[in-house]
Amino acid sequence: MRRIGPLLLLPDPNPPGWWAVCVSLLALVGACTAAGGVFWAYGVSPLVAYRVIAEGTFLDSRALPEVVRRTIPLLLVGTGLVLAFRAQFWNIGAEGQLLSGAVAATGVALFSPLPSGLLVPAMLAAGFALGALWAALPAFLRLRWGAHEVLTTLLLNYVAAYGVEWLVHGPWKGPSMMGFAYTDLFPEAAWLPVLAGTRVHWPTLTLGIGFAVFGNVLLYRTVLGFEIRVQGENPEAARYAGISPAKTVLAAALLSGGAAGLAGVGEAAGIHHRLLSPGQVSMGYGYAGIVVAWLARGNPLGAIPSALLLGVVFTSGDVMQVALRMPFRVTDVFNGLILLFLVGSTPLLQTRIRWAPVRSKPAPAPGGEGWTPSSRPS
């Protein structure tokens, strides 16, 4: 119990649902304010910046498709990470898993002898598989030898990035343009269909939304989801209940890696139609996915609005690049600040705030049982 001036903060283990939304909103406002400070340091007035963002994203109906197309990979990665984090599998390697998916899609599109009707499903399947595999390796290292997955997944991002660079500069090198290296363009049959007039590749969008729904059903209505939740929160109790950590960790890794892989397929086959240098394929979706997952507060369906929000952030990066000549990097600042404020506000989630300006007389006890869970006996 802490007191800040006239406000009393009490621990509340079961707050009402709307409180979480309030806290998140508060965090977002905080992040935007801090970001404004950064703009000011760069030499751009925060008010101008936000006006430009608003006009370029949600106030402009033509901008909506762009927001949606940015949302697609964020939704896939984010939902996967919600599941992974729920299982306490700290997958920071979504960036590399996304690249793996893109590589798989490129491989299938350019080099496989499949009939054109099967190309798209094959790319998606291959992308999922390779992404899942890229995440399975750190999972295996953790299960077998206890290597902490935060570092291993993350280091594999760099390996994947250099791998893509090697492919693009080496064996898969296509015609280069303006000094940038690319692979050949995919055959038309390997292009993901888009909604008319936009860049929204709808198969992956559908997969994303479907995955979010699937994730929800999985966590709350299946045996595996139950085991994931128990294992994630209390590994001791999970052992007790006979839950195999290998099963849950592996499931978390495969699902999150595979989802990121699908996102990679979407980018390679839906947007660029070729494999490019890693920074242009991924643009930080892997890390932003962490923000999506955190903002979703553990619920896969929550990833949908979160991904949309981050989609707005990414689109504002584009907008600010054009209108204010700010580098796209500004999205990293946004993402990082949002995550920081979200994390900092997490303890508030299980707190109740009461307005109590004067020291009031303590109410008599209801009598009986000790006190709430985290107390000690006297």
Partner 1 sequence: MDAVLATFLRALAFGTPLLWAALGEIVAERSGVVNLGVEGMMLLGAFFAFATAQITGSPFLGLGAAGLAGTLAALVHALVCVRLRANQYVSGLALGMVGAGIAGLLGRGWEGTPLGKALPELSGITLSGLVLSGLVWGFLYHTRWGIALRSVGESPAAADAQGVSVPLVRSLAVGFGGFTAGIAGGFLSVAYRPSWTEGMTAGMGWIAIAITVFSGWDPLRAVAGSLLFGTLFHLSFRLQGVVAPELLKMAPYLGTILALTLTTAHRGSRIQEVPEALGVPYVRGER
Partner 2 sequence: MRFFSPAAVADRPAPPEAGDAPLLVLRDIVKVFPGVVANDRVTLEVRSGEVHALLGENGAGKTTLVNILYGIYPPDGGEILLRGRPVRIPSPRHAIALGIGMVPQHPQLVRRHTVAENVALGLPGLPFFRPLRALEDRIRELADQYGLGVDPRARVADLSAGEQQRVEILRVLLRGARILVLDEPTSALTPQEARALFRVLRRMREEGCAVILITHKLEEVLEASDRVTVLRRGRVVGTLRTREAEARQLARLMVGREVQFGTARTPRPPGEEVLSLEDVWAPGDGGTPALRGVSFQVRSGEVFGIAGVAGNGQRECVEVCVGLRRGTHGRVRIFGQEVTGRGPRMIHEGGVAHVPEDRIRRGVVGGLSVAENLVLRRYRHPPFARGPFLDRRAIEAFARRLIALYTIDSPGPWVPARILSGGNLQRLILARELHGEVRLIVAVHPTSGLDVAAAQQVRRILLERRDAGAGVLLVSEDLEEILELSDRIGVMFRGRLVGVLPVEEADPERLGLWMMGHGA
Q: Which residues bind partner 1 (CB under 8 A)?
A: 38, 41-42, 90, 92, 141, 144-148, 150-152, 154-156, 158-159, 162-163, 165-166, 169-170, 287, 290, 294, 326-327, 329-337, 339-340, 343-347, 374, 376
Query: Could you tell me which of 357, 360, 176 has the C-alpha nearest to residue 274?
Result: 176
Contacted entry of partner 2, partner 1, none for residue 37, CB cut-off 5 to 8 Å set by kind: none
Q: Distance (Å, rounded) from C-alpha 270 to C-alpha 291?
A: 24
Amino acid at 39: F
Token pair for residue 41? Answer: 């340091």
Contacted entry of partner 2, partner 1, none for residue 240, CB cut-off 5 to 8 Å set by kind: partner 2
Q: Contacts with partner 2 in 231-250 (CB under 8 A)?
A: 233-234, 236-237, 239-242
CB of 368 to partner 2, least distance (A): 7
Nearer to partner 1, 164 or 228 (CB): 164
Q: Contacts with partner 2 in 352-371 (CB under 8 A)?
A: 359, 362-371
Unique residue bearing structure tokens 């990293």: 332
b/e sequence 265-282, b meaning 16+ C-beta within 10 Å: bbbbbbbbbbbbebeebb
How big is the CA angle at 262 (ends 312 and 332), to the nearest 5 degrees? 35
Q: Contacts with partner 2 in 9-48 (CB under 8 A)?
A: 10-11, 13-14
CB of 245 to partner 2, least distance (A): 13
Query: Could you tell me which of 22, 24, 20, 19 has the C-alpha nearest to residue 310?
Result: 24
Q: Distance (Å, rounded) from C-alpha 361 to C-alpha 277?
A: 67
Contacted entry of partner 2, partner 1, none for residue 57, CB cut-off 5 to 8 Å set by kind: none
How many chain residues interact with partner 2 (CB under 8 A)?
38
CA 205, 209, 215, 217 dihedral sign is negative
Which residues of this protein are in contact with partner 2, per CB under 8 A? Answer: 1, 10-11, 13-14, 221-224, 226, 229-230, 233-234, 236-237, 239-242, 359, 362-378
